[in-house]
Amino acid sequence: MLKKLKNYKFMFEELVSRDFKQKYKRTTLGMLWSILSPLLTLFIMRIVFVNFFGRGIEHYTTYLFCGNLIFSYYRESSTGGMNSLVSNASIITKINAPKYLFLLSKNVASLINFGLTLIIFFIFCIFDGVTFGWNFFMLIFPIVCLVVFNVGIGMVLSALYVFFKDIAYLFDIFNMLLMYCSAIFYQIDTYSETVQRIFLINPVYCYIHYFRVIVLDGRIPSIQYHALCVFYAAVMLLIGMFIYKKYNQRFLYYL
């Protein structure tokens, strides 16, 4: 895969540039929306939820920001990945290039947006009085896991979307359900241990929780928790690679 990616380096760079620029095409503020959008969403969520769920939670706005930051990246990356093959059908049917190039370009474009928002997040943490420490370098771990997870789920969704267009509507509903099950604006500490373990079935919640443990609690999760994060990322990537390999030739007949 890496060798093919190197051979198509120029094409891949052009795809990433196009996907990133396309998001802000015909907008007045352009790339500033990468910063304004999460901040405005955070502001609205704080107004709505602070009186209902924020009482007793220290640095509640940062708590919200952690959840919104990770979930927004997951949603943008997975949704972009789902459309990667169909939206590039005119290129795929004319050029013999690896299909995953189009998926990876969407993910890299989403990762750039995430990186810009992450910088704002760190600046916000300073103003919110969050204590920085060497453990913040461990945030690289959940980010890498989430990137791999997003690539995997993008492979699965993009393949399904080629054959079943209803996936787009079902995925929107699924994402709404997933958002409410990711504890973005509420804590799960008041629930029983059994319920708290059920939340760990949700990979997105696991990555959100990892961020919060590092940023707000100032500690590093257990080895078992690291293994769980790697497990979700690896399994999703393997499933995606299997589907791409199995249906690679059939994509052309449906695009």
Give residues with Cβ within 8 angstroms of 140, minimum separation 6. Answer: none
Rounded Cα–Cα distance for residues 62 and 57 (Å)? 10
Q: Is residue 80 part of a domain?
A: yes
Tell me the pLDDT tens digit for each residue of 38-89: 667 667 766 666 666 656 677 888 898 899 899 999 999 999 889 888 887 7
pLDDT for 48: 63
Range among 22-31, 54-63, 85-94, 186-195 rated most confident: 186-195
Higher confidence at residue 127 or residue 199? Answer: 199
Among 53-57, 147-151, 192-196, 242-246, the minimum mean pLDDT is found in 53-57
Q: Is residue 110 part of a domain?
A: yes
Q: Is residue 157 part of a domain?
A: yes
pLDDT classification of 127: cutoffs 50, 70, 90: confident
Q: Show the CA angle centred on residue 12, arms to residues 6 and 13, nearest 5°.
A: 105
Rounded Cα–Cα distance for residues 12 and 33 (Å)? 24
pLDDT classification of 96: cutoffs 50, 70, 90: confident
- Its domain, for residue 119, covers 37-50+59-191+198-254
Q: What is the mean pLDDT of the chain?
A: 83
Long-range contacts of 137-143 (CB under 8 A, 24+ apart): 138/214, 138/220, 139/211, 139/214, 139/215, 141/210, 141/226, 141/229, 142/70, 142/207, 142/210, 142/211, 142/229
For tokens 């997870």, what's the residue?
Answer: 149
Q: Is residue 186 part of a domain?
A: yes
Do residues 105 and 175 touch, judged by C-beta distance below 8 A?
Answer: no
Q: Is a pLDDT exceeding 60 seen at residue 27?
A: no
Q: Is residue 4 part of a domain?
A: no
Q: Is a pLDDT exceeding 60 seen at residue 29?
A: no
pLDDT for 210: 96
Q: Is residue 26 part of a domain?
A: no
How many domains are there within the chain?
1
Q: What is the DSSP-derived secondary structure letter of residue 134?
A: G
pLDDT for 20: 63
Alpha helices by DSSP H, listed for the chain, are 2-7, 9-23, 33-53, 60-82, 84-87, 89-92, 100-127, 140-163, 167-180, 193-199, 203-215, 223-247, 251-254
Tell me the pLDDT tens digit for each residue of 148-184: 999 999 999 999 998 888 888 999 999 999 999 998 8
Higher confidence at residue 24 or residue 136? Answer: 136
Tell me the pLDDT tens digit for each residue of 198-235: 999 999 999 999 999 999 888 999 999 999 999 999 99
Distance spanning both ends of the chain, measured CA to CA = 23
Q: Is residue 225 part of a domain?
A: yes
Q: Is residue 10 part of a domain?
A: no
pLDDT for 73: 93
Rounded Cα–Cα distance for residues 250 and 188 (Å)? 44
Higher confidence at residue 70 or residue 252? Answer: 70
